Amino acid sequence: MNEKEVSIPLQTSGLLIKSFRITLTNIRMYPLTSNLVEQPMKEFLTSIDDLLKTFSYIAISEMDGKIFINSQEYRSEDSTLNSHIKFLVQFFVQSGIKSITFKQAATSEEIKTVLLALVTKKPKMSTRDIVKQVLKEKNITNIAIDEV
């Protein structure tokens, strides 16, 4: 079976969306060593790792106010998950980033580095530019911004 034919289970997508959103929120407010950062980050890393066992890449993207995971729109009837989706849509729009792609060879350290870059603020630099700069400086080739 072709990986394009395999859909990501809703529960797995939900955990990925939830842990991504909570990690991005908490990493701004708490020290990296705080359990409030470590736990959702661990869940996010586990979700990515589990999905990369089936898919050659995982792309989280925003288009027209919707969140997609590997070109599959993520929708939920759950109001809490919908709040996570709305947050991520807003985050993508404000950051100027359309998609984040994690390839199979991406390491936990590379993912953590990119997560930190996603919440870094610098004068006169967009989040997109900050992340692109970090990817280049750290020679991270298994995570991409705006490439699917």
Give the pLDDT confidence of 81-109 residue by residue, as tens digits.
889 999 999 999 999 999 999 999 999 99
Question: Within the chain, what is the greatest distance between any pair of CA atoms?
Answer: 47
Residues 6+ apart with CB under 8 A from 113: 134, 138, 140
Per-residue pLDDT of 50-80, as tens digits, reads 999 999 999 999 999 999 999 888 888 888 8
Q: pTM of the predicted model, to two decimals? A: 0.88
